[in-house]
Chains A and B, each alone.
Chain A
């Protein structure tokens, strides 16, 4: 009997590792940008491309920076949540239309509604690279000092918002 115990224990350890591994999302790569100052940028606004918007403009505010695109189907899933968030007026939500045509982005917002205080257009995806964007949607929480406090990769769910993002927003706003 005793000779079966060791192989069984080893089997269980391997099984537990595999099981935990199955539950992980390989696309959630930890961002080295969390805790670091958000990369500076200056981009044309989506609705008024002659006007620029830059990171400097947000100094002293806690805000959410959501990277989306009209070609991004997953973005539609989190969109109603953002509409709700903008109605509740808890935290300013800014959008970045990533690697998208201006008219497509505007049409998408027209169709689905615009939850953003302001949207900038990163047509070539250069600022996206600076922010380490590799899978849209991605959402950044930036504090009053312009430091990235949290990065969410993929669709933001109700749970993410109420359990992670909003408590962190409150905490940062109080500082």
Chain B
């Protein structure tokens, strides 16, 4: 009995090691959750890549960190908060609305409003420029003649139109 116990105790490190090695393939559900979260996080080394797709060493470390925190049972929001507290809002591809990000969030809409304003202003100005003018009897007759001419001979040479 005692020998068996000792033998079992000796086996403990083996289990401990197996626990450490629990990595990606071992838990596909967790891996999927990690990738889902990492897709919305920015890799700080190659800044236009997400944490999920980057191959930089730091991204690998951060994925490991996220994985481990998930294993510990932390929620997605808790993990995001952890990363933001260390790397700042910059890690988020979807930064929160606050004082420093107001221009980022609302700047484009302000520019759009300004653009629409300018467009309306310009269109109004144009409308005044091309205000309808009465056609004099002489002009009306000339226009009618020209229209008849072209209707009769569609393939008329250009010079006769003048």
What is A's interface to B at a CB cutoff of 8 Å?
A: 26-27, 29-33, 39, 99, 124-126, 128-135
Contacts and interface: CB of A to CB of B under 8 A. Distances in A.
5 contacts: A29-B44, A31-B87, A32-B88, A32-B89, A33-B85
Interface residues of B, number: 15
Interface string B32-65: 0000000000001101000000000110011001
B64 to A, nearest CB: 9
Most buried by B among A126, A133, A134: A134
A30 B57 CA distance: 21
Given A129-B65, A131-B86, 18 more contacts: A26-B47, A27-B47, A29-B87, A32-B86, A32-B88, A33-B86, A39-B86, A99-B57, A125-B57, A126-B65, A129-B61, A129-B62, A129-B86, A132-B86, A132-B87, A132-B88, A134-B44, A134-B87
Nearest to B100: A30
B6 to A, nearest CB: 28
A125 B44 CA distance: 15
B84 interface: yes
Contacts of B85: 32-33
B90 interface: yes
A74 to B, nearest CB: 13
Interface of B: 44-45, 47, 57-58, 61-62, 65, 84-90
Contacts of A135: 44-45
A29 B91 CA distance: 10
A29 B90 contact: yes
Contacts of B88: 29-32, 132
Nearest to B61: A125
A134 B88 CA distance: 12
A32 B61 contact: no
A27 B58 CA distance: 14
Contacts of A31: 87-88
Nearest to B91: A29
A30 B86 CA distance: 10
B47 A130 contact: no
B84 A32 contact: yes
